[in-house]
Amino acid sequence: MNTRGLLIAIGVLTIAGCATRDQRLPDSTAVPAPATQQEAAQQARDYRTQAQALRDMAERRQVEADLLSRELGPDDPGVQKKRRLAQELWDAADETENKARDLRGQVPHGMMQ
């Protein structure tokens, strides 16, 4: 699956997840409250998986930007675009990891994750 397809898949999964949860979220960074501790553990795992996928994509964009920079120079618009995309992906990964961390706080310490 290409990067665009993966981004679309992550977006669809995120939208689908939001559509099935409480619609009264106060802001876009709030994590919906899971009904059970098992759901909280599963959601935390899902968010961690998404965060890792976003980090992987960001790392690839950064490598692409570095290679392109060697050929075209650091001021090339294509290089700058890839660097911006990499930063946006890193930021999205951090936000997703924070959501996972919030959910992990709702899981008892002795519970298997």
Report whether 55 contacts 100 (CB < 8 A): no
Mean pLDDT, rounded, for 30-35: 62
The residue whose two tokens read 């392109």 is 68
The residue whose two tokens read 């961690």 is 48
Is residue 22 very low, low, confident or very high in pLDDT (cuts 50, 70, 90)? very low
* pLDDT digits 0-9 by tens, 50-75: 999 999 999 999 999 999 999 999 99
Which tokens hold the place of 79? 């290089």
Backbone dihedral angles phi then psi of residue 34, each to the nearest 5 degrees: -70, 155
Cα gap 113→54, rounded to integer Å: 22
Cα gap 80→72, rounded to integer Å: 11
For the chain, the structural domain boundaries read 48-107
